[in-house]
Amino acid sequence: MPSLTLAEKASLVLPEDYLVLKTFVELKDKYEYLTEEELKDRLDFTDAELRISLEKLRNLRAVSWDIIAGKRAYKITFTGLDILAIKMLYVNKILNRLGLIIGEGKESNVYYGYDFDNNTIIVKFHRVGNSSYKNARKLRGYREKRSWVSITLDNAKNEYIALKCLSENLAKVPKPLGYAYNAVAMEYIEGPSLLKAELNNPKEVLDSIIGSLRIAYLYCNKMVHGDLSPYNIIIGDNESPYIIDWPQWKQDDDNLLNRDINNIISFFSKKYNITEDLNYVMDFIKGKA
């Protein structure tokens, strides 16, 4: 069923199919693949019920299979994680229905969504793929064996934690609405990226960005964005700059903070001829100036 949207796929997943997908996540760091026998040992399904469910999930591309040690074995896919997240966000009364996809990135897909009052929200599905899996393990400091599923779920949780603290302390970020599995639901901010915006008051915008970075450091346990650029700052109403994409934040990392600051002040210097001293901005963010 390759032509179905993600929302349509999720609507076709019944409670028994949900249990199958959930089993893969529960065993994520122990087994990547599970045979029908291994699944049946953990689920109160008949052979026929399990095969029907697995065939449906395979057609929805929520699971894939391979031959391992002479037996057919299955594993969950990103679509399977997305479906689990959609179902849980619905149960938690955060997401009523999923809309169209907005963008696809290296480690996430972003969709419009609608809450139970029909307000537009954003749903971001984290996806640490094969190309980024090794880098993600290294960047996030994982020493023990952790599956791509675990790291993907951690990405979502980390971003939610960051947005929650930042929002509660009045930093300019989208307000988080909740998270489930690999998805984070958040406030929808309408506007262009800083890269594409034409600002009337660029100095005020720069000061606001620096202020949010100061809040992150001083009030959110020395949090550093770690990947800040004009691409992940959205200019909303009244030229308010909202910083997005927080899953890779680090704690008290001078090298990353220096890079974040340099990316932003260099942009404002080149486009708006506004000069800021990097060392002074660094000290200000750390509460030393």
Rounded-to-integer distance, Cα 67 and Cα 80, Å: 20
Q: Would you state the structure tokens that stand for residue 186, as one six-digit string?
A: 């958040």
Quick one: which of 38, 35, 39 has its CA closest to 19?
39
Q: Global pTM?
A: 0.92
DSSP one-letter string for 67-122: EETTEEEEEE-HHHHHHHHHHHHHHTTS-SEEEEEEEE-SSEEEEEEE-TT--EEE
Helix (H, G, I), strand (E, B) or coil at 277: coil
Q: Which of 151, 35, 37, 15 is nearest to 83 (CA)?
A: 15
Tallying the residues shown for the chain, one arrives at: 289
3-state DSSP assignment of residue 269: helix
Partnered with residue 126 across adjacent β-strands are 108
Tens digit of pLDDT at every position of the chain (289 positions): 458 999 999 999 999 999 999 999 999 999 999 999 999 999 999 999 999 999 999 999 999 999 998 999 999 999 999 999 999 999 999 999 999 999 998 899 999 999 999 999 999 999 996 554 445 444 444 445 789 999 999 999 999 999 999 999 999 999 999 999 999 999 999 999 999 999 999 999 999 999 999 999 999 999 999 999 999 999 999 999 999 999 999 999 999 999 999 999 999 999 999 999 999 999 999 999 8
Residues in Cβ contact with 55 at an 8 Å cutoff, skipping those fewer than 6 apart: none
Domains and CATH numbers, the chain: 6-77 (1.10.10.10), 80-187 (3.30.200.20), 194-286 (1.10.510.10)
For 229-241, the three-class secondary structure string (H helix, E strand, C coil) is CHHHEEECHHHCE
**pLDDT by residue (tens digit) across 262-289?**
999 999 999 999 999 999 999 999 999 8
Distance CA 187, CA 22 (A): 27
pLDDT tens readout for residues 103-129: 998 899 999 999 999 999 999 999 996
> How far is the C-alpha of 210 from the C-alpha of 276, rounded, in Å?
11
Q: How many CB atoms lie within 10 A of CB 68?
A: 14
Say what the pLDDT of residue 230 is. 98
Distance CA 226, CA 118 (A): 34
